[in-house]
Amino acid sequence: MSDQLKSARDFIVRSLEGELRDRGIGALSDDFNLITSGLLDSFGFLDLVTNIEAEFAIEIDFSTLDPAAFSTLGELSQAVVRQLADS
């Protein structure tokens, strides 16, 4: 895993600390879907995106991504890395 990918992934997991603790969820796999798992609703997901964009100073273009994928931990982390490469 690249450093960028790791830092993106770590940031997301850290942002969700409270929610994960509340539900007693431990380690997350890359295909863990943040929305369909019930961890976040769509508003919670938007809050997370706002935090990510502020942290990495990027604007993620979701229009090219598959919604079934971009709400998974792995794909969302990848999207951050791709956007960092483009900007």
Partner 1 sequence: MMKCSYNTPGPVVHSTVVHSTNGRPLGLIQGFIESSLREPKRPALFVAGRLVTYEELRAAALSMAATIKHAHRGDGQLIAILGSRSFSVYAGILGILASGRGYVPLNPKFPPERLARIIELSGISSVIVCPEAALLLPKLKGALTEPIQWLDGNAVTTRTAFDGNDLPPAIDEKAIAYLLFTSGSTGEPKGVAIRHCNVMPYIQWASTTYGFHLDDRFSQAFELTFDVSVHDMFVCWENGACLYVVPETDLSFPSKFINENRLTCWYSVPSVISTMARLRLLKPGSLPTLRYSFFAGEALSIESALLWATAAANSRIENLFGPTEATITIASHSWNGDRTASSNGTVPIGKINPGHQYALLDENDNEVPVDGLGELCVTGPQVALGYFHAQPERRDPFFRRPGSEALWYRTGDLVSCDAQGNLIFRGRTDSQVKVRGHRVELLEVDHWLQKILLGCQVVSLSWPFNNLNCDCIYSAIETSEQESLIRTKEILDQCRALLPEYMLPKDLFFLRNFPLNSNGKIDRKEISTILTRKLDANRKTGNE
Contact footprint for partner 1 (CB under 8 A)? 22, 33, 35-36, 38, 41-43, 45-46, 49, 59-63, 66-68, 70-71
Q: Could you tell me the two tokens for 61?
A: 């273009």
**Ramachandran area for residue 24 (φ above 0: left; ψ -120 to 50: alpha; else beta):** left
In whole angstroms, the minimum distance from the beta carbon of 64 to partner 1 comes to: 10
Residues 6+ apart with CB under 8 A from 75: 30, 65, 66, 69
Which CB, 4 or 15, lies closer to partner 1?
A: 15
Contact 46, 84 (CB under 8 A): no
Which CB, 43 or 57, lies closer to partner 1?
A: 43
In whole angstroms, the minimum distance from the beta carbon of 84 to partner 1 comes to: 17
Which CB, 43 or 85, lies closer to partner 1?
A: 43
